[in-house]
Structure 1
Amino acid sequence: LSCTFPIFFLQLFLEKYGYFSEPGAGTHSPAEFTEALRDFQRVTHLPPSGVLDAPTLHQMALPRCGTDDGDSRAAGAGRGSPARRRRRTAQHGRSCPVAGGRWPKRHLTYRVVNWPPYLPQHEVRLAVRAAFELWSNVSSLLFWEAGDGPADIRLTFFHGDHNDGLNNAFDGPGGALAHAFFPRRGEAHFDSAERWSLHSGKGRNLFIVVAHEVGHTLGLQHSPVKSALMSPYYKKLSKDFVLSWDDILAVQNLYGKPSKGSAIQLPGKVFTHFQDWNTDLYSRDRQQRSLSNYYCHSFFDAITADGDHNLYIFKGSHYWVVSASGNASDPRPLQPRWPGLPAGVDACAWSQLTGKFYFFKGGRCWRYAGSKLEAGFPRKCSALGLPRHPDTALYFQQLRRLVLFKGAKYFVVGEEPLGVEPYYPRSLRDWAGLPPGTAGALTHRDASVYFFRDEQYWKFDQAKLRVVATGKWATQLAWMGCWDANSEQVLF
């Protein structure tokens, strides 16, 4: 049995995802099994041994899209080309792509037929809208939500077998999360048994899965490029997520570039949470006003304050300056101010000791004197003993040192030379009442240290060495510059 089960599982899996030229139980020779397995291993960047080893079994068990892998095993060559798409056959209950697997028009409607009952309807609609805009922002396509009635593309949640053929029956949590049909049968189906979420760190992120399945409804097949959204396996949504070059080339090959302006990498690069969106954020009469203090309507990447008590709030490739009086600037691009700084920083701190800005992203650290990147930077965090992907950075006046927070630990860091002080890291319990995973911190002119995470803030008393207050920063801290946070009906 231990030998038979993997072979049976292997055949079902490879048939479901299109690795055999002809489906059918008992019709595959050992050579066909080996070649199909090699194809799968190539697509998933495993050594193409043709052997069902532990890493291959592990890969097969990971959550993924239920649409078959089609021509992705052909190293992605011509993935968006009509000639290649016409060779796809109608397998496993799927319709054959018509007109080369593309829609004959550029304006498409969509409808969200149903949604998980534990997710608010307006938040689901915003996430779906963002998923469609991810594609319209880099192509000539335009999408419009149809409230009811017919629509070109329909998104529906189902349990188990839902009349798409047995190979397309949903399998409960894990495994196949969703599947979709190619043009012109514009349908995407999602497994109701999954725990769907609109957050970046909990459950299956609905935005990222919808965006992937929408790609299929537009005619895109799976990509062999590991970083691509159209890669078959589920990936978590990070703060700096963008479509890969492969995704963009594939959709532009089918529908062309945007008719006006250049391709833009929004909203995928900006929005990792949807429960904080204003339902009118994109309405034309308020869009410009929303941009001026957009960070108030969404979560930011990092925050710090300088010696004049100006706040610097970072999100994606932009930052805002909020004066001591609470007046926010328009969003400004990072590059002119800090040349060479990447978008989506993990943490930032301004040092009161040296007057320099420190930025952290991934495994690297940047240090700027004014707008000049100092010699030798960026530097590797590991070479300095610093944590990768720190949650928060802070200049702590009592220690005259930088402090980096990562999970349940914190690191005290000297500046000259830059490195972790002895006996660190220590437990976050030293900062009584402070939760792990904060997104930023600053020392306010009232001498308290304020920590931020999502919509919350924590006020830390430096004398008592504990948190003394907490609340919603956009509506309760006037100096954050969110004057219209209440009138805008922010979804906090």
Structure 2
Amino acid sequence: MAHGGLLVLLVAITRSGSLSGAVVQLTDFDRAQDYLQQFGYLKETTDPQDPQHLQEVTEALRMFQKVNDLQPSGELDDATLEVMSLPRCGLQDNFLNTHLKFRLTGRWRKKHLTYRLHNYTPDMSRAQVKLSIQQAFNMWSDVSDLTFREVDHGLQEDIRISFHDSHTSCPFPFDGPGGVLAHAEAPESGRIHLDEDELWTEGTRRGSNLRIVAAHEIGHALGLGHSQFRSALMAPVYVGYRGNFKLHSDDVNGIQALYGKRTTGSPSWSPTTPADVSPAEGSNHSPADPCTARLDAIMLGPWKRTFAFSGNDMWTITDLGHNPPTKINQLWKELPGNLNAAVHSPRTNKTYFFKGNQVWRYSGSVLDYGYPKKVQRIPANIDAALYLENNKKLVFIKGSNFWQWDELRYNILAHFSRPLARLFSGVPSSPDAAFTWTNGMVYFFRGDDYWRVNKRLTVDRGYPLSKRERWMRC
């Protein structure tokens, strides 16, 4: 039922105008007019009774209704009021015409950007927050020539993300639960603020989905304005959680207009999407517990992410601990579980997985042609594999022996075996897993113990330590 044309003053309007003479409650009028002014549909006026202003209100309502898939009647009906009551972004829409196209507000002068989380919401664990933010950035890097890297405190970042509530000093204060969820500044400011008065969640329809809202604000921080397509990520009104959320073509066209299409070899996958594996979404899979699971393999893999494997599951590890596990074949589709070893070569950007007497080789998440293949001249069921930086070779370990392989010299996985103690001093035989990490150190794992090997290839003093405590942060 329509509430009429916003007239509490019963101003006479000519037949050519679309505002009716019906009476609307003052609270509805004030709320709608304030909304239209706040979000860029309507200019402020000193004389709200001016017929010209009332006509401008009608046109503003029509624009708001059009971009929200409502009947553009120019009347303040129940459906319009309902959309105005939905949570949304705090930035203005500034839709100057009805041409449905992305709007640009700025541009970074580089394509490799860093970001930092200034603080965290107590609604989610730190690992969950970091994962949601990482996935939000991945939405944009998956379709553009942008890359994003999280940096630690003390390092300069391009984009800074923080949570604060309505009591915190801010140029655009929040309004408590509901209403405005977040806001961001155009390039090259890089500031993104999320309302701590909201309930931030992932994998559920309760509260506000951190991944989707953060991705919207990242779009602003990258130079995108609001979209006039309601189903677009950059639409101003938040429409709720969707587990299979994807960017609208308007989002993709906008970001590619700024930074170009994604080039071959860029990351195209976001690890461990909770929406895909959450039991709430109907999965009967009981994932491994990173705190107690025995490792089958670990590697510093493609896209410089640390992957751990156990049974049919994998998870990523960050400085703050482990992310939620997911099935291995959600990323590497043809790959079985219960692996013997995994290793990624930064020299060739290939990833190798071993099980029994077979090897699978991937480029990113795509299985290379002709694989899996039978391994040759190394035994089946190896214990571990790693990339050795000092000679740029792959090392395969079984029991107390090792084999080395130069990818660029040999076409088969083959070399002579030697005692493990001749390569590494102080490491255990038959390790569960081993890999070289970002700091150039080599790590060996067996049970809950791990050993750190320095660049002289000897174990550092004080090891072994607890994998559960130091790596998984349990």
The bucket for the TM-score relative to the shorter chain is 0.5 to 0.7
The one of 36, 43, 47 aligned to 2:71: 47
TM-score relative to the length of structure 2: 0.55
> Aligned in 2, Cα 1:281/1:245: closer, same or farther, shift over 3 Å?
farther
State the alpha-carbon separation in 1 of the partners of residues 335 and 96 from structure 2: 42
AA at the equivalent of 1:225: F
- Which amino acid letter does the alignment assign opposite residue 237 of structure 2? Y
Task: Give the secondary structure class of the aligned counterpart of 2:251.
Answer: helix
Distance across 1 between alignment mates of 2:99 and 2:271: 25
What is aligned with 1:142?
147
* Structure-1-length-normalised TM-score: 0.53
Cα shift readout 1:74-120 (whole Å, capped 9, x = no counterpart) = 3333x25xxxx4xxxxxxxxxxx5xxx11111122211111212422
Match among 173, 183, 196 for residue 192 of structure 1: 196
Deviation at 1:30, TM superposition (A): 0.8
Of residues 61, 72, 75, the one that matches 1:37 is 61
Q: Do structure 1's residue 178 and structure 2's residue 182 form an aligned pair? A: yes
Note if contact 2:139-2:215 (Cα within 8 Å) is conserved in structure 1.
Answer: yes
Partners of 2:113 and 2:148 within 8 A in 1: yes
Alpha-carbon distance in structure 2 between the residues aligned to 1:316 and 1:225: 31
Q: Which of the residues 197, 212, 219 maps onto 2:216?
A: 212
Distance 2:228 2:92 in 1: 13
1:70 aligns with 2:94: yes
In the alignment, structure 1 segments of 5+ residues that lack a partner are 86-96, 302-312, 334-484
**2:205 aligned with 1:201:** yes
1: CA distance, partners of 2:31 / 2:230: 24
Q: How many pairs align?
A: 309
Query: Is 1:237–1:272's contact at 8 Å kept on the other side of the alignment?
Result: no
The aligned amino acid for 2:301 is: R
Q: CA deviation at 1:161?
A: 5.3
CA contact (8 A) 1:228 1:247 kept: yes
Q: Matched residues in 2 for 1:226 and 1:172: separation?
A: 24
1:284 to 301, 324, 338: 301
Kindly provide the amino acid, as one letter, of the partner of residue 111 in structure 2: R
Aligned with 1:70: secondary structure?
Answer: coil
Deviation at 1:57, TM superposition (A): 0.4
Distance in 2 separating the partners of 1:203 and 1:282: 36
1:41-100 CA distance string (max 9 Å, x none): 0110001000000000011101111111123863333x25xxxx4xxxxxxxxxxx5xxx
1:56 corresponding residue in structure 2 = 80
Q: Which stretch has the larger CA shift, 284-293 or 217-226?
A: 284-293
Distance 1:288 1:11 in 2: 51
1:40 Cα deviation after fit: 0.3
Larger Cα-atom Rg:
2
| Cα deviation, residue 287, structure 1 | 5.5
C-alpha deviation, 1:288, in angstroms: 8.9
1:125–1:278 CA distance, 2 compared to 1 (3 A):
farther
8 Å Cα contact 1:198-1:274 kept in structure 2: no
Please give the alpha-carbon distance, in whole angstroms, between the structure 2 residues aligned to 1:3 and 1:187: 39
State percent identity of aligned pairs.
Answer: 35
Shift in Å, 1:241: 2.1
Contact 1:72–1:224, Cα closer than 8 Å, also in 2: no
RMSD (Å) for aligned C-alpha atoms: 4.3
Taking structure 1 as reference, are residues 108 and 315 closer, same or farther at Cα in structure 2, changes over 3 Å only?
closer
In 1, distance between residues paired with 2:250 and 2:299? 28
- 5+ residue gaps in structure 2? 1-7, 9-23, 279-286, 292-296, 316-323, 339-354, 367-466
Partner of 1:11: 33
Confirm whether residue 267 of structure 1 aligns to residue 270 of structure 2.
Answer: yes
Q: Match of 1:212, SS? A: helix
